[in-house]
Amino acid sequence: MKLDEIRAAEARLLLTTYDRSPVLFAGGEGVHLIDEKGDRYLDLLSGIGVNALGYNHPAIVETIARQSRALIHVSNLYYHEGQAELALRLTERTGLDRAFFANTGTEAWEGALKLARAYAGLRRSEGKEIGTKFLAMEQSFHGRTFGSMATTYKAKYREPFGPVVPGVEFVRFNDVADLRAKFSNEVCAILVEAIQGEGGVRPLTPEFFAEARALASSTRALLIVDEIQAGMGRTGKWCAYQHYGIQPDVTTLAKPLAGGIPLGAVLCTEEVARVMHAGMHGTTFGGGPLACAVGIAVIDTIEKEGLLAHATEMGKYFQERLRSLATRHESIIDVRGKGLMIAAELDSADLAKLTVAEMLKRRILINCTSETVLRFLPPFIVERAHVDAAIEALDEIFTEHAATHSAHAGGKLHG
């Protein structure tokens, strides 16, 4: 089917949940997607942080082929080789003790919220005074299922589906005083992203993160860190919280975990894990043989190819080039991020939207979040030449926009 035929079919058959760009992709190689005409697009979004190893990486392709011939699915009523092996790799790299595998990031987050409420219930049964309240952050994004949505800040995600799950209060981002004021024995967990993704690639300050850890520890509430976008090496460490030297009680992973095969994970301490017993939580598909095999391959490949160090190096280079660009274009008001999780904030939502569209015309894929923030989540295998191509395109777009804006201003002045 051609693009027009597919668009017409989707318009008839699908819920209108996506505002898709008019491109039909048919393949991919390395950091490039390939459309049905054979044109190549530099993907600096990597499927919104999923395709960490790019497209058609031999380690992923070969693992899928091998595992699919052996066993794709088996019920979690039985054992298979992959879950314990993948859990060992993840616990060793995150500093946590136990894992539960889900299908997606939002399901992993739901599991983390359930752990917090169950742990609070266990502690109440032991005579401790602790409530059921969650403290989440303003501008947070944790997913679209009901619990995840309730802990996601922006009203546009919550209000159409209200009433949402109760018991959530939002704290001003990086405001230590507000965190202290809202924390009490009623709180069972503090919920943070070490670096907010959908919220505009905004990192926690060390002071705020340390205070969240200290407050949670003071009552044995849980500190839960969402690493769904920032984790699995994107920031140059396995988890973004490792840049701060802070250990959470629970964390969640997903996006790049299995190289494009759906897989999420909840990781927790041994202390928290004691609340769970058979039948309290579960999943049909989560942690299946195929996804786990690919997850193992992704971790092993990241280490074998030195991609944590490469993400650090390329991230620094990308930010340096963006900051240099900002000296020439006053419309760029901030550049921030860590590793290959990078943002360039612009002074106008219209310009941000225009820039994404103009980059697409130049066959470079990025997106805009929080209205004014250009977000870059390239595959870990990105090279300097790819960064240079993006900077050249951005320079051209901003220069053209400034010239057009100046011409319009001049016309109004003379008129």
Ligand-binding annotation for 63, yes or no, is no
Q: How far apart are CA 192 and CA 195, in angstroms?
A: 8
Ligand-binding annotation for 320, yes or no, is no
Ligand-binding annotation for 398, yes or no, is no
Ligand-binding annotation for 144, yes or no, is yes
Ligand-binding annotation for 196, yes or no, is no
Ligand-binding annotation for 306, yes or no, is no
Query: Which residue type, as a one-letter code, is found at position 410?
Result: G
Query: Which residue type, as a one-letter code, is found at position 58?
Result: P
- Cβ proximity of 70 and 289 under 8 Å: yes
Ligand-binding annotation for 106, yes or no, is yes
Ligand-binding annotation for 198, yes or no, is no
Distances (CA, A) of 17 to 5, 20, 21, 103, 216: 19, 9, 13, 20, 37
Binding-site residues, in ranges, read 105-106, 141, 144, 226-229, 283-284
Binding-site residues for pyridoxal 5'-phosphate, in ranges, read 105-106, 141, 226-229, 284
Binding-site residues for N(2)-acetyl-L-ornithine, in ranges, read 144, 283
